[in-house]
Each structure stands twice: as structure tokens, then as C-alpha cells.
Amino acid sequence: MAARGLGSDSFGGYRARLVEDLRAKGIRDLAVLQAVGEVPRHLFVPDVLTHQAYDDTSLPIGHGQTISQPSTQALYLQALELSGRGRVLEIGTGSGYQAALLARLSPDVVTIERLGPLARVAKEALAAAGVRNVLVITGDGTIGWRPLAPYEAIVVAAAGPSVPAPLLDQLEDGGRLVAPVAQGRAQSLVRVTRRGETFEREDLGPVQFVPLIGRHGFPREAADEGKPRT
């Protein structure tokens, strides 16, 4: 790994350029832009890809998974409209980068990853980046994490056939959930806002994510064997 620690590395100029890039692409939420400007993304990508860490692109992180494109993640975070006070749940830790961004926008973040080796590496990267308010859990995120529910916001970083029902159940009143939902080969980003027992749903446009695999997602064989997902 290259230089470590928040703000104590030589990548500040690259981060500033990425922030400008995101601004030019329409990200307006200042807290989100500030988080991108502060979190050392290079600690969350494989060493051989350090030189691409601040490009606005998704990158492979092993086990067939990817760290998402920063502009997509920023769009997500903006759509969550976080108050800065509530607890947030993330499904699909992957590299841990988005959890690190969330950790600058919320006092308390829970993130769930189904692949043990990725969860371990993410934990290490979060520690290296000095992030302390993220709880990393290994398991099936489609059932959520009831012990710490309800959540002000839930972000799903993998595309399932529908929004997992247990997650809607774990949203607080007024809470927001953002998730990619697959429709055949296409996917769209959906935002759900809870109003009592009513769930308002908005479509935020097309996206491209790896499959959400689990009890309320796709079956494991479909994705692990690379079969078409329909």
C-alpha cells in the first residue's frame, strides 16, 4: 500500500481534481463533495491500481467485484439526503470506500458484505484510513441488520430483482433507501422514502452494478457461474 492516513498523503491534488470532476458532472451536495475530497480512495483499491484511484471509474477489487465509479457513488450519497445525525446501513461493503464516505456524513455506519475475504480487506483499509465509526459485518445483507435498526438511510450497492422487503422494514419513518433494481439486463436506481407504512418510490435513472446475491436477491448459482440474470 502507498501512503496512509487521512490528509497525510501526497494524493490531495488528485482528490481535488476528482471533486472538480464530480462537480462538473452535476454533484451539488457540498458535504458529499467534501467527503470525496477527504477520503483516501487509493487505500481502497489494489496496489497495482493506485495510479487510477482518483479517476472517475469503477475498478476491480477481486472476487469478481468492483469498487463503484465515484460519480455514481456521489449521486447515491446525494440522493440519501443525510441529516448528519442518523445511523446508516450499507449493503455491499466491497472495498469499504463508500462506507468511508458514509462515515464522514453520518456518525454511525453499519455495512454488510457477503464475501468474507472482501470484508476483511475492507476492514483493514478502513482502519488504515483512520475510520472508526463503521461496523463491518460478514453475511447476507438482503435481510438487513435488525439489532441496530431502524436506519435513517439504507444504501444498496448491488442490483437485485427487487428492493429487499426486510430493508424497507428497517427504515425509520421519513427514512430513505437507494438501491439499483434489475429489470432484465437493464438496471435502474430507485429511491424509496418511508412515510409510515407507505413507501414512495422514485426512479433516478439507469445504472450498472454487480448482482445482489442472497435470500431477497438473486440465487448464488446465477451470478457465481456467470449465467445471464433475468
Question: Catalytic residue positions?
Answer: 68
List all residues 6 or more positions away from 81 whose beta carbon is below 8 Å from its beta carbon: 153, 176
Closest to ligand SAH by CB, 79 vs 197, is 79
Q: Which of residues 56-115 bind ligand SAH (CB under 6 A)?
A: 65-68, 91-92, 94-95, 97-98, 112-115
Q: What is the DSSP code string of 94-115?
A: TTSHHHHHHHTT-SEEEEEES-
Nearest alpha carbon to residue 93 among 76, 68, 72, 129:
68
Q: Which of residues 181-220 bind ligand SAH (CB under 6 A)?
A: 210, 212-214, 217
Size of the site for ligand SAH (CB under 6 A): 25
Q: Min. distance of Cβ 101 from ligand SAH in angstroms? A: 8
Q: Min. distance of Cβ 198 from ligand SAH in angstroms? A: 26
Which of 157, 171, 177, 178 binds ligand SAH (CB under 6 A)? It is 157
- Is the Cβ–Cβ distance between 97 and 39 less than 8 Å? yes
For cell 483499491, name the residue. 45
Q: Min. distance of Cβ 45 from ligand SAH in angstroms? A: 9
Burial class (CB in 10 A: 0-12, 13-18, 19+), 137: middle
Give the number of C-alpha atoms closer than 13 A to the C-alpha of residue 213, restricted to the C-beta side: 17
Closest to ligand SAH by CB, 78 vs 98, is 98
Closest to ligand SAH by CB, 175 vs 217, is 217
| Binding footprint of ligand SAH on the chain (CB under 6 A) | 65-68, 91-92, 94-95, 97-98, 112-115, 118, 140-142, 157-158, 210, 212-214, 217
